[in-house]
Amino acid sequence: MVVSIGVIYFGGQYNHLIYRRLLELGVSASLCDYSKDDFDEGLFDGIIISGGPQNIPEDIHKLNSIVDLIVRASRPMLGICLGHQLISYVYGGLIGSGMEYGNTVVYVDDEDTILRGVGSKIIAWESHSRAVVTPPKDFSVLARSEKVLVQALAHVKKPIYSVQFHPEVRHTERGELIFRNFVEVCRV
């Protein structure tokens, strides 16, 4: 069975890399415009919410259609960078300052599903000025860095995951494995 994943983009610089990484894994991937009210999650086995230039919570009013999707989604979901912050904020987490740029050591405290097999630490590519400073209730913190204590999250009951770093960039160690793990969640 070929897995189909919708990649929701916000104008971030790495959207096409996410798309390409999924194609390299044999996934049927589609880039989807978040501003379209006619987005049909039923067309996909999973959803990736990618990065972009918006700031949360200041720009949340520009993202109403995606907020609705995050709340009602029945498919597995992976948030990356801005997607990580959006998922956290929608579920009640707190977003604040948290600047990281370039290679960062990420310490994995719980491999859970999405980080299974990556090991106790990885070098990951970061590009953000905001970060999750308080995780939402019903989410487990999976990883941290020296500056950002919430690098990766997993919902305790739903197949919702998020990472602050960019697994699609070759600078991130074992980024492909993170995508493979998400594809396996979507395959179920």
pLDDT bracket for residue 9 (50, 70, 90): confident
Question: pLDDT > 70: what percent of the chain?
Answer: 98
**Distance (Å, rounded) from C-alpha 167 to C-alpha 176?**
7
> What residues act catalytically?
81, 166, 168
Q: Of 26 and 60, which is predicted with more confidence?
A: 26
Report how far residue 27's alpha carbon sits from residue 178's, in angstroms, rounded to the nearest whole number: 14
> What confidence tens digit (pLDDT) does each residue in 94-110 have?
999 888 898 999 999 99
Closest listed residue to residue 136, CA positions, set 178, 78, 86, 97: 86
Say yes or no to pLDDT of 177 above 70: yes
pLDDT at 61: 86
> What fold, for 4-187?
Rossmann fold (3.40.50)
Interatomic CA distance for residues 84 and 165, integer angstroms:
9
The structure tokens 């918006």 sit at 54
Residue environment code for 150-164, b if the CB has 16+ CB neighbours within 10 A, otherwise e:
bbbbbbeeebbbbbb
Q: According to the model, what pLDDT value does residue 37 have? A: 58
Average pLDDT over residues 163-186: 97
Q: Where are the domains of the chain?
A: 4-187
